[in-house]
Amino acid sequence: GIMVADDTARVFDAIAQQGGCARFVGGVVRDALLKRDLVDVDIACDLAPEETQAALEKAGIRVIPTGLKHGTVTAITDAGAYEITTLRVDVLTDGRHAEVAFTDSWLEDAKRRDFTFNAIYCDLDGTIYDPFDGETDLRDGRVRFIGVAENRIAEDFLRILRFFRFQAWFGRPPIDPVGAEACRKAVNGLHDISVERIRDEMFKLLRSRSPAGTINDMIGFGILPAILPKLIHTDCLRIMQWLDSTALADPAIQPDPLRRLAALFAPGGDRRNSDDDEDNLAAAERFARDLRLSNEETDRFAEMVAHAPLIDPKLRPEIVRRDLYRMGAAAFRDAVLLAWSARAAVPPRCTRAENDEWKALIEAAANWQPVKLPIQGRDILKAGLAPAGPRVGALLRQAEEYWIDRDFQPGRDELMDYIARQITAGDEENE
């Protein structure tokens, strides 16, 4: 059954008080059957949305009418938010939007859902209503469309990506050829889906435990090339698989969707080639922007992709420390994981000794103690070495380079001397 908080029971009771019936549906039931932690809670209900809203308010529960037209209100309680949607049928669909009508038939409501295991309902007391035997499909790892796959996809092309997303999470290979073939035929419909929705589905997929197999299916059935044309690195699957096996073997490294996306994108070309390097950065940024990643994600993604080809486990320790200082340990580790995977996944692969070298880089990141430049702008001002202004920043950056080049050893006095010398040298040059 589903572990319910008191607040959840209050929501169900409030609806029952008005003569309605509420049942859990969707992810919350799936996750309960699989004994996973709950994320968001969807509830179906046979009251009209306004009635639901009134019932909840009468019971003193805060309600936000999040989508009255589509039949959805959100109940806000201390235990969290509950999306409560009136039973409905989709009367008209154009592949993107559905016009809906409300119904009091639980079966009609089930039929408009996408996959059999997404149409399992559950009472507050744990009774299951499972009109399409989704529980068996869930247990067998079968992602099965309700009704005829072609028709269901044509109603809403996002279901193509949901199919693969649920395959990654709950499917057992091989992928269902009927569903996958229907997706292949409808792939052009994805061009009508907004980039944001594609991005969200892809990230959900890339958060699954081990997405490489499903990514492989998505390439095979022509889905990935349709949504991320620039992405596909010829060795991406092997790279992602290797990345995941390494990451999964180390409990300190959490699976990470952005790193996996970078693995798909991983540049394999020349290392330490500054021209290529710039192209990688620009290409990665463009790719991330096209996918509407946030600024923060874009920066992280681009840094990873651009820096990975520069990393070599034979780098001298001071170079490694410099990278750690400049990038921070997390970003450095991302780049190392990516570079290591790109090297280890494709022939000639890595020897055991080489793998140990890569591991040492991961450890260097884990053990990195951040260091701080021992001087600040105001030290330069106080010593009267420069007036307030841009010159101070420039001198500080020069001192930082000097300090990094000497492996963070110079102390405050040596750095101030260095700055004084720079000024003298500059003055002589100007004469």
Interaction between residue 27 and ligand ATP (CB under 6 A): yes
Shortest reach from residue 31's CB to Mg ion, in Å: 9
Partner whose binding site includes residue 80, from Mg ion, ligand ATP, none (CB under 5 to 8 Å by kind): none
Partner whose binding site includes residue 142, from Mg ion, ligand ATP, none (CB under 5 to 8 Å by kind): none
Rounded CA gap, 86 and 46, in Å? 6
Interaction between residue 99 and ligand ATP (CB under 6 A): no
Our CB check for ligand ATP shows the closer of 42 and 379 to be 42
Shortest reach from residue 200's CB to ligand ATP, in Å: 9
Shortest reach from residue 34's CB to ligand ATP, in Å: 11
Interaction between residue 40 and ligand ATP (CB under 6 A): yes
> Could you say which residues in the range 14-73 bind Mg ion, by CB under 5 A?
26-27, 40, 42
Q: Which residues contact 243 (CB under 8 A, 6 or more apart)?
A: 259, 260, 263, 337, 338, 341, 345
Interaction between residue 190 and ligand ATP (CB under 6 A): no
Shortest reach from residue 32's CB to ligand ATP, in Å: 12
> Could you say which residues in the range 106-165 bind ligand ATP, by CB under 6 A?
113-114, 118-119, 156, 158-159, 162
Shortest reach from residue 32's CB to Mg ion, in Å: 12
Shortest reach from residue 9's CB to ligand ATP, in Å: 21
Our CB check for Mg ion shows the closer of 42 and 279 to be 42
Stretch that binds ligand ATP, among 35-43, 48-56, 128-136, 285-293 (CB under 6 A): 35-43
Interaction between residue 71 and ligand ATP (CB under 6 A): no
Our CB check for ligand ATP shows the closer of 205 and 218 to be 205
Shortest reach from residue 206's CB to Mg ion, in Å: 18
In this structure, are residues 348 and 258 in contact, taking their beta carbons and an 8 Å threshold? no
Our CB check for Mg ion shows the closer of 30 and 233 to be 30
Shortest reach from residue 110's CB to ligand ATP, in Å: 8
Burial bucket for residue 119 (CB in 10 Å: 0-12, 13-18, 19+): buried
By CB under 6 A, the count of residues binding ligand ATP is 13
Tokens representing residue 381 in the block: 């001002």
By CB under 5 A, the count of residues binding Mg ion is 4
Place of tokens 């420039």: 394
Our CB check for Mg ion shows the closer of 71 and 410 to be 71
Interaction between residue 42 and ligand ATP (CB under 6 A): yes
Interaction between residue 45 and ligand ATP (CB under 6 A): no
β-strand partners of 41? 82
Q: Which residues bind ligand ATP (CB under 6 A)?
A: 26-27, 39-40, 42, 113-114, 118-119, 156, 158-159, 162
Q: Which residues bind Mg ion (CB under 5 A)?
A: 26-27, 40, 42
